[in-house]
Amino acid sequence: MGMEKRLPVLRVMLISDAAFERYLILDELDRTWTGERFDSTGGILYADCNHAALDTHNILKRCFQGCEARKYEVPLVVEVYARYPVSVDEIALYLSRASRLQIDTTDHGNGPGTSLVLPRIEWHRIQPAKEISHE
């Protein structure tokens, strides 16, 4: 077994005022992502948290070049109550803008052992549920 590269611990940080949200990708040394490397003198400002999260996934995946990815799907149920019709597209857009999927990599690492687990929600694939569970 060869020497395994240590994965960086990355996080997306909000830097903004209420009217002008921007996000940075930071490593464990608080250096910002420039698009090519982490640097302490400045980095890319993202207007959207989801785009910053996607870039963190791409940065981390580089450490696993040549490895096969396994994909798993986890059910997510979203209940919508409304007094007027709301389209699935409106719900997907709302959820993509308003929700955040966060993993506590600081305390739990990037995955079990030396693995990398990269969850994402594909809101564009939203569809009505076949049956509703009332648990």
Chain segment 93-135, per-residue pLDDT in tens: 999 888 888 888 878 888 898 889 999 888 888 888 887 566 6
Q: Are 43 and 32 in contact (CB under 8 A)?
A: yes
Q: Which domain holds residue 98?
A: 11-125
The pLDDT assigned to 75 comes to 86
Please check whether residue 32 lies inside any domain of the structure: yes
Please check whether residue 73 lies inside any domain of the structure: yes
Q: What pTM does this model have?
A: 0.74
- In the numeric block, which tokens belong to residue 18? 């209420």
Please check whether residue 96 lies inside any domain of the structure: yes
Q: What is the DSSP string of 57-94?
A: HHHHHGGGTTPPP-------------SS---HHHHHHH
Please check whether residue 131 lies inside any domain of the structure: no
| 51-97 residue pLDDT tens | 898 999 999 998 888 888 899 988 888 999 999 999 999 999 999 88
Quote the number of domains for the chain: 1
Please check whether residue 66 lies inside any domain of the structure: yes
43 vs 1: which has the higher pLDDT = 43
Please check whether residue 111 lies inside any domain of the structure: yes
Q: Are 12 and 53 in contact (CB under 8 A)?
A: yes
Please check whether residue 117 lies inside any domain of the structure: yes
The pLDDT assigned to 106 comes to 79
SS3 label, residue 82: coil
Please check whether residue 103 lies inside any domain of the structure: yes
The pLDDT assigned to 134 comes to 62
